[in-house]
A and B are shown apart, each in its own frame.
Chain A
Amino acid sequence: MQHIPQVAYRKTVAMVALCVLLAIVAIAAISFGSISIAPGRVFEVLFGLDPRDQTDFARDALVITQIRFPRMLLGAAVGAALAASGAVMQGLFRNPLADPGLIGVSSGAGFAAALAIVLGGQLLPASVNKLPFEILPIAAFVGALTATFMLYVVASRGGRTSMAIMLLAGIAFAALAGAGTGWLSYISDDRQLRDLTFWSMGSLGGATWSKVWVVVPMVLPTLIAIPLLAHGLNAMALGEAEAYHLGVNVNRLKIGAILLVSVAVGAAVACSGLIGFVGIIVPHVLRLSVGANYRFLLPASALLGAALLVGADICARTIVSPSELPIGIIMATIGAPFFIWLLLRRSPEFAI
């Protein structure tokens, strides 16, 4: 009877370790960059302490509060949203390879954003069109919700949602959205094409407090609500019928999970473009190291996802400094080989 306390102990240690990791990465993200700022000064600025050294203090304070701190917060929110959403989707589809991109949420968001970039100038009144940065997130979010709603309509019959059909419909919608985006890039001019390309590669560049105030209020309540799904998702791992037998309201679980994922992913895609693989890598690494229990997996995924994306953003900003790479490229460079490695391992859970 010794193993229960041991498991609990291991999970507590893992949670503390993840919090520490996120804190370290966050401080690093604020101090690294084209201007290097000592971690001591980061603390001084963030907590309003008296500076020990006045050299460049005003400049550093400006860089920290106006550029790096909001960017770090945005990266953490997006990473947490993508990783936790990935974990939820995998539980819902009972498939460790599922990802928010898979059910077409990201594609729907991407298509709507492309629409806003290319046709926004002609279709929207000039007064609205002066705010391109504000339009893009809203369009992407509406696109994500529309895609999810259409998927749900296709996959549901008589109050029951077929996950297999939803998965296949997701692939079809992703292809359709890709085709639509292709058409749009064909008719777009050079500047629009450039916007489109960079947005679709994903970037945390251009993070501002106004973006943070749009995204964080959407992501934070979702992250707080997602752990309520833990028992249902655990039961779903045994199978849909088994979850029903255990007393889980399966249809309510599905609708709740899909809505929460749409909000989180829509908000994330809206402000940072298409960033892949976070939702696959993070939950999988955690399952390997500390187990599959969703009570632990969901909060841990949010923490590790935040740390991963903030870390990847440090790479994106420093590798070709003072210029920067799209973070989507960094994540795909790490993520795609990891994904292939997962497939090569052929662990028993991939018996699809």
Chain B
Amino acid sequence: MEQLLVPSLCTIEKIIQETADIRTYRLKFKDENLMSKFQWLPGQFVEFSLLGYGECTFCISSSVTRKGTFDCSIKRAGAVTSDIHSRLDEGDEVGIRGPFGNNFPLEELKGKNLLFVGGGIGLAPLRSLIQYCIDNRADYKDFTILYGARSSDDLCYKEETKEWQNNPSLKVILTIDRAEDTWHNNVGVVPKILEEVVKPTIENTKVITCGPPIMIKYTLQSLDRLGFDPKNVITTLEMRMQCGLGKCGRCNIGSTYVCKDGPVFTYEQLKTMPDEY
């Protein structure tokens, strides 16, 4: 198993500073063979090693339909992520293990209206699914993205969200918590905008949501109020994971292993799990 815990080396092709504390690392396996064989589905994650400092779980925030590299969007939140931000430059090498976990239920989403509800860094796992769905646009019906953050600077993927706004087949609603002089979009927390501005239909719609724990809590409550069936609400738990293999016990919630049964869960499944996330 020690074999399974040894990472493969990747080079950092590009670093994009998304916000003051979030950076996207575009990675490519040093071994070309590995890179071409590396397949993942939206929702899966990798274990990212800054050797000597630690290993963290990050979802892959880009889609496999855009080959050649993969993205990890990392927020500076703790010891290892601070080291990642301050010590890594383009060209440096990091260790990657994966992909692990389950994925968003792609078959179930086909032919449905999709509503993405993201907050802050929570857009990262959703982005891999959004890109995948855009690349297979014909498979899906109405496509709405509601994305919010604390301030305009805290919105991630600023260039890409502009592309989405310019894409006529997508409906994009952005919001920030407090008004700013140069901000001409919505103002208000995500759950509020969801209920008051987006006013989604529940008919044939699947909701995919991710964000900070507090946003998810209130968003799920809003979705309840709007009448969504918990089966049709999908989220991804960024629960503390470590080995990714279902062995170290870190991610246990009840008899569920987030790294094996998740990290993608429906709201219905979450309701059966102990409230420990």
Judge: A and B partners, yes or no: no
Residues of B within 8 A of A (CB): none
